[in-house]
Structure formats: C-alpha cells, structure tokens
Amino acid sequence: MVSDNAIFRISKLFRLQWEPAQNAHVLLYPEGMVKLNDSAGEIMSRIDGKKTLKQIVTDIESRFNADGLRGDVVSFIEIALNQGWIKSEVE
C-alpha cells in the first residue's frame, strides 16, 4: 500500500511533456515515447519530487470537483512504479 506521505519523482530516463501532435502528455525516453491518457497525464504532471500522494490526490479532486479518487491515483502510481516511469522519494 502506498502511503499518503509518499513522494515521487519522474525517473531520470524519462521526460514528461505535452505533445500537441498527440494532443496528450507523453513520456519521452531514449528508445521512444509513451502516450498517456488524460487521467495519467493529470497525475504525472503533478509528480514533481515535492508533493506527497495526499497533496496530489487533493489537487486532482479539487481540479475536477470530485471525491474518492485516491484509489484511482494509487492504482496508476503502482503501474508507473512497476514500469519504472517514477521513483519513490519518501514513504
């Protein structure tokens, strides 16, 4: 289980950017690119090595006027960790 106090950063092999041609956030890496869906892009754009998981969830819930998104954010965080897109800074 991921702690609310966990802090994440994007792995050094990847760079997140908005790609107008794809109309989406993408993760660039030496061998290619990962196109992120809208939800993944919203989460990844908040991963900065400073915000806690709780702050990221609160920010997204506020942005979309929604509650109960922690489970969805954690599910994506776990995928991103397993893919090596992000690293945990503090747990």
pLDDT digits (tens, 9 = 90+) for 12-37: 999 999 999 999 999 999 999 999 99
Domain count, the chain: 1
- Answer yes or no: is 16 within a domain: yes
The answer to whether residues 27 and 44 touch, using CB atoms and an 8 Å cutoff, is: yes
Segment 68-81 mean pLDDT: 97
State the residue range of the domain holding 68.
7-86
pLDDT one-digit tens code per residue, 38-63: 999 999 999 999 999 999 999 999 99
What residue ranges in the chain does DSSP mark as E strands?
7-10, 15-19, 24-29, 32-35, 86-90
Query: Does residue 1 lie within any of the structural domains?
Result: no
Asked whether residue 91 is assigned to any structural domain, the reply reads: no
The average pLDDT across 64-80 equals 97
Contact 62, 25 (CB under 8 A): no
The confidence band for 68, taking pLDDT boundaries of 50, 70 and 90, is very high
Confidence of residue 91 (pLDDT cuts 50, 70, 90): low
Question: How far apart are the C-alpha atoms of 28 and 2, rounded to whole Å?
Answer: 25
